[in-house]
């Protein structure tokens, strides 16, 4: 059975790109979220094997969403999707419970390596 993924990003462009990369590698994208709040709600409803999480999102940011998810599910496997120059935020996300990160612009091979590490 393929791993299930929840893709969280406020831009449909990035969600589509990440979903394409993961679907082509055999993952099943079971949900998408445009805000941190939606990410938390969909995580609770879908219990995906993996979450990809943007950092800057409206309503609730990605780091706060990680904190919220990990409060009840510290085992959640969350991969942060960061832009260059956001190291302080990535560090904060890892402290909040994120398991790994990839840096935009995405190279499919780097995304899949990170996903494999997270799913380890």
Partner 1 sequence: MDLSRYAALFLTESREQRGACGQALLEWERQPAAVEPVVSLYRAMHTFKGMAAAMGYSNLTELAHRSESVLDLLRSDPGAGEPLIDLFFRVVDALEQGASQAVEGGDAALSFTALLAELDEASVDTAPTGSWAIPAPAPAPAIEPVEGREVRVEIRPDAMMRGARALIALRKAEGLGTVSGVVPPPAAFERDEFDGKFRFTLATRAPDEAISEAIRAAGDVQAVAGSTP
- We find the least distance from the C-beta atom of residue 73 to partner 1, in angstroms, to be 17
**Strand-pair category, 28-33 with 4-8:** parallel
The Cα–Cα gap between 83 and 85 comes to 6
68 binds partner 1 (CB under 8 A): no
The Cα–Cα gap between 58 and 46 comes to 21
Q: Measure Cα distances from 5 to 28, 74, 77, 84, 113 in Å.
A: 6, 17, 10, 24, 15
Q: Which of residues 2-31 bind partner 1 (CB under 8 A)?
A: 10-14, 16-17, 21
Q: Which of residues 74-113 bind partner 1 (CB under 8 A)?
A: 82-85, 87-92, 94-95, 99-101, 103-108, 113
For 45, residues 6+ apart whose C-beta sits below 8 A from its C-beta are: 31
- We find the least distance from the C-beta atom of residue 112 to partner 1, in angstroms, to be 12
* Binding residue for partner 1, selected from 3, 30, 37, 64, defined by CB under 8 A: 64
Angle between helices 62-72 and 36-46 (to 10 degrees): 30
Which one, 13 or 26, has the nearer CB to partner 1? Answer: 13
Q: What does the binding site for partner 1 look like in residue numbers (CB under 8 A)?
A: 10-14, 16-17, 21, 54, 56-58, 63-64, 82-85, 87-92, 94-95, 99-101, 103-108, 113-114, 117, 120
């Amino acid at each position: 059975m393929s791993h299930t993924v929840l893709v969280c990003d406020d831009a449909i462009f990035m969600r589509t790109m990440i979903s394409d990369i993961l679907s082509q590698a055999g993952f099943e994208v079971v949900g998408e979220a445009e805000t941190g709040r939606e990410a938390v709600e969909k995580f609770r409803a879908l219990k995906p094997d993996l979450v990809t999480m943007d950092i800057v999102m409206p309503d609730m940011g990605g780091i706060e969403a990680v904190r919220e998810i990990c409060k009840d599910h510290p085992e959640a496997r969350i991969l942060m999707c960061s832009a260059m120059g956001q190291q302080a935020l990535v560090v904060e996300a890892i402290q909040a419970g994120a398991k790994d990160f990839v840096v935009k612009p995405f190279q499919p091979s780097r995304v899949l390596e990170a996903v494999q590490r997270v799913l380890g």
